[in-house]
Amino acid sequence: MSKAWDAIVVGGGAAGLFCAGVAGQLGKKVLVLDHAPVLGEKIRISGGGRCNFTNVHSSPANFLSLNPHFVKSALARYPSKEFIKLVTAHGINYHEKHQGQLFCDDSAKQIIEMLFSECAKGKVTIRNPVSVQAIAHEGEHWLLHTSEGAEKTKTVVMATGGLPVPAIGATAYSLDIAKQFGLEVVEPRPALVPLSFTAETFGNLNELAGLSVPVRIASGSKGHRYGACRFNEDLLLTHKGLSGPAVLQASSYWVEGEPIHIDWLGAIERPGGFNCDELFNNEENHLKLTETILASVLPQRLAKAFAEQRNLMGRKWAEVSKKDRQALKELITNWSVKPAGTLGWKKAEVMLGGVDTKELDGQTMMSRKLPGLYFIGECVDVTGHLGGHNFQWAWASGYACAQAL
Ligand SMILES: Cc1cc2nc3c(=O)[nH]c(=O)nc-3n(C[C@H](O)[C@H](O)[C@H](O)COP(=O)(O)OP(=O)(O)OC[C@H]3O[C@@H](n4cnc5c(N)ncnc54)[C@H](O)[C@@H]3O)c2cc1C
């Protein structure tokens, strides 16, 4: 066995590579171990291949955690503007897409190359594919048994990410190590994931697969461990259920067995907002067909589907009873529908839950019980909203840890 490393980072993804590069440049002798033959796969597939690498508005309000204050210190010390400076220094061109989301103009591979180049600057040693078989704490040191032999280190940084996309090597290894050392883990669950519905609850909407509509969506509840949410985003109808940014956001807050609420008119951009009564009480609409009135504010196919669901197709508005108008209003402004489930780890973008933040110091990401053992990135019970916040957490938690090593 060679001389002890200052740090061994287990997992060479976003958080692990970034942390290793910063620590290496601070003079630490760092080894990164990863079981995958190719590193940075999640970065490569992120943001449709262009990596939504941060969000200019990233703040603690964009994260779910049992302790919502936990992210504050790390985000304040490494805000998105710092990562943007690094991206700019590497000559990577980027653009803002929507609500502060920054994407590479060219390819997500540029972010991976940047992380490798930062690691090279810090003389970081990267070994993969190597599997870590066991981690033991021995006096002042940690001993890692790997498929390439044993390694001794002063500190261990667990950065193996979350469970989404098992096909590219996702594992629960950081959570297993946390449990092995007696640390509490908040039960993991797929998040930022499409939701599925039964045929009865979905009605005729599956015929509209491919349609994207801006909506206001609400899910969760105040008493739930991650609270409730309300987002104005695009919703995508699919053959299997609902997807698109609106539903991905809502899925993180969704409580199994409870409905989500969709206001199909809530995200219509109009000065002063949109009032459904204005549409329904307008005298000029009296002789129009129900589906025609709905089509003035909704996509035509959706307008027809709603009119059909309420048996109002081909009916003039003047002939529609007060009760039917009220039911239609409820359907389009407060569609309350119970998802049957999520599409699971294969389709999730992130993991909700992870190593309980009460076990970690928010300034350093180190275990309070076991000095020298750190957890960063997605394996921690910190989950970002859609829009670059999850990578921002990977960078910020990696930076906080690197400063402390
Ligand atoms: C399809 C998709 C698109 C996404 N798009 C975005 C986006 O645009 N913006 C955004 O902010 N977030 C996005 N995310 C989320 C983002 O990718 C993750 O939050 C982020 O990669 C987490 O960083 P991490 O370093 O914690 O984990 P990862 O980047 O997943 O890295 C974990 C590393 O650990 C390794 N590993 C796993 N198990 C072991 C083990 N047992 N031993 C050794 N090594 C192991 C893996 O091989 C991997 O290299 C997306 C996720 C998915 C799935």
Domain at 380, CATH number: 3.50.50.60
Domain that holds residue 361: 5-190+349-404
Q: Read off the DSSP letter of residue 184.
A: -
Q: How many CB atoms lie within 10 A of CB 227?
A: 12
Instruction: Please provide the average confidence, as pLDDT, over all residues in the chain.
Output: 94
Which residues share a beta bridge with 224?
A: none
Mean pLDDT value of segment 301-313: 93
70-110 tens-digit pLDDT:
999 999 999 999 999 999 999 999 999 989 999 999 999 99
Q: Which sign, positive or negative, has the C-alpha torsion 267, 270, 271, 275? A: negative
Give me ligand 1 centre to Cα 350, in Å. 8
Q: Is the CB of 132 under 6 A from ligand 1?
A: yes
Q: How many domains does the chain have?
A: 2
Domain at 324, CATH number: 2.40.30.10
SS3 call for 259 = coil
| 40 vs 37: CA distance, rounded Å | 10
Domain boundary residue among 342, 376, 394?
342
Mean pLDDT value of segment 330-341: 92
Q: Which sign, positive or negative, has the C-alpha torsion 347, 232, 54, 157? A: negative
350-402 tens-digit pLDDT:
999 999 999 999 999 999 999 999 999 999 999 999 999 999 999 999 999 99
Q: Is the CB of 159 under 6 A from ligand 1?
A: yes
Predicted local confidence at residue 64, as pLDDT:
97
205-236 tens-digit pLDDT:
778 899 999 999 999 988 888 999 999 999 99
Phi then psi for residue 96, to 5 deg, are -95, 130
Mean pLDDT value of segment 133-147: 95
C-beta pairs of 57-62 under 8 Å, 24+ apart in sequence: 57/99, 57/100, 58/100, 58/384, 58/388, 58/389, 58/392, 62/384, 62/385, 62/387, 62/389
| 285 vs 135: CA distance, rounded Å | 71
Domain boundary residue among 342, 369, 389?
342
Q: Is the CB of 5 under 6 A from ligand 1?
A: no
The reply to whether 116 and 259 lie within a common domain is no
Predicted local confidence at residue 272, as pLDDT:
62
Looking at the CA of residue 391, tell me the nearest atom of ligand 1. 11
Give me ligand 1 centre to Cα 245, in Å. 19
| 365 vs 15: CA distance, rounded Å | 12
The reply to whether 241 and 388 lie within a common domain is no
The reply to whether 228 and 183 lie within a common domain is no
Phi-psi region at 262: left, alpha or beta (left = phi > 0; alpha = psi -120 to 50): beta
The reply to whether 37 and 174 lie within a common domain is yes
Q: pLDDT category, 11, cuts 50, 70, 90?
A: very high
Query: Ligand 1: which of 46, 115, 375, 383 to mutate, most ligand atoms within 8 Å of CB?
Result: 46
The reply to whether 133 and 214 lie within a common domain is no
Q: Which amino acid is at 296?
A: S
pLDDT at 271 over 70: no
Q: Is the CB of 11 under 6 A from ligand 1?
A: yes
